[in-house]
Amino acid sequence: MGELAIRAERLVRTFPGGVGVRGMDLDVEYGEVHALVGLNGAGKTTLMRLLLGMLRADSGTVAIGAPWSEAGHTVDEPFGYPDLTTIANLTVAARLRGVPRAVVGEVVAGAIAELGLQAYATRRARALSQGNRQRLNLAAALQHNPRVLILDEPTSALDPRGVILLRTALLRRAAEGAGVLVSSHHLDEVARIADRITVISHGAVIGSLDPGGTDIERDFFALVLAEEESGRERMS
């Protein structure tokens, strides 16, 4: 196996109220979309925050194969500066990722077109709908063509057109060699874009799903219920 975009080994992070992530291993290769699925509270966001260094692990290691300027994420992102327009927000985000001043206008225009934000380009962020705020966050995460992408539930507020735009954008980034980690509750959507699907439950990886499977929802619940059953047996 070649160089990895993301590698996490034996990651542990315990919260006062219980376990967030308990001994997780995960890797993302360059050129693939790797999806994380799991029920609410399974540990997806915690894992992503650990990968991005937003949260300190109790133990375990994380390696990201790109400098910050070549990474993009939408984990815990606010929706931009509320008083700045879409264009201004994206310009700031691009400059912060080191996009040269000479090409920043072109990069921002490309991101606005890619996420379908043309009609909102001069609108202040605070006046955007929730779905368009999510598009703005995604545009900021994608516009500098990062080599490593970490997106937490990127379609949660998107309309069907937005879902298609994002799908196209992520498949393009992966085809160009980026490593993409994405969490989602939309199993059908995940099956369309992911090369690998990892299922997590109660802070641990419990298995994987075949993106080409005929009934991915059934396979998902089979894994989750088996894990819950074995958890109950351990407790009894």
Ligand X SMILES: Nc1ncnc2c1ncn2[C@@H]1O[C@H](COP(=O)(O)OP(=O)(O)OP(=O)(O)O)[C@@H](O)[C@H]1O
Is 45 a binding residue for ligand X by CB under 6 A? The answer is: yes
Is 231 a binding residue for ligand X by CB under 6 A? The answer is: no
In the list 8, 35, 37, 44, the residue contacting ligand X (rule: CB under 6 A) is 44
Q: Which is nearer to ligand X, 96 or 221 (CB)?
A: 221
Q: Which is nearer to ligand X, 14 or 66 (CB)?
A: 14
Is 65 a binding residue for ligand X by CB under 6 A? The answer is: no
DSSP the chain: ---EEEEEEEEEEEETTEEEEEEEEEEEETT-EEEEE--TTSSHHHHHHHHTTSS--SEEEEEESS-GGGEEE-SS---S-TTSBHHHHHHHHHHHTT--HHHHHHHHHHHHHHTT-GGGTTSBGGGS-HHHHHHHHHHHHHTT--SEEEEESTTTT--HHHHHHHHHHHHHHHHTT-EEEEE-S-HHHHHHH-SEEEEEETTEEEEEE-TT-S-HHHHHHHHHHHHHHHHHHHH-
Is 34 a binding residue for ligand X by CB under 6 A? The answer is: no
Closest of 74, 80, 63 to residue 128, by C-alpha: 80
Is 56 a binding residue for ligand X by CB under 6 A? The answer is: no
Binding span for ligand X by CB under 6 A among 42-50, 84-92, 109-117, 166-174: 42-50
In the list 7, 26, 43, 125, the residue contacting ligand X (rule: CB under 6 A) is 43
In the list 42, 90, 112, 166, the residue contacting ligand X (rule: CB under 6 A) is 42
Q: Which is nearer to ligand X, 24 or 93 (CB)?
A: 24
Binding track, positions 1-20, relative to ligand X; x by CB under 6 A: --------------x-xx-x
DSSP 153-164: STTTT--HHHHH
Q: Which is nearer to ligand X, 53 or 82 (CB)?
A: 53
**How many CB atoms lie under 10 A from the CB of residue 235?**
6
Q: What are phi and psi of 73, to 5 degrees?
A: -155, 160
- Region 183-222 residues binding ligand X, contact defined as CB under 6 A: none
Is 38 a binding residue for ligand X by CB under 6 A? The answer is: yes
Is 154 a binding residue for ligand X by CB under 6 A? The answer is: no
Tell me how far, at minimum, the Cβ of 152 lies from ligand X, in Å. 7
Is 179 a binding residue for ligand X by CB under 6 A? The answer is: no
Residues that bind ligand X (CB under 6 A): 15, 17-18, 20, 38, 40-46
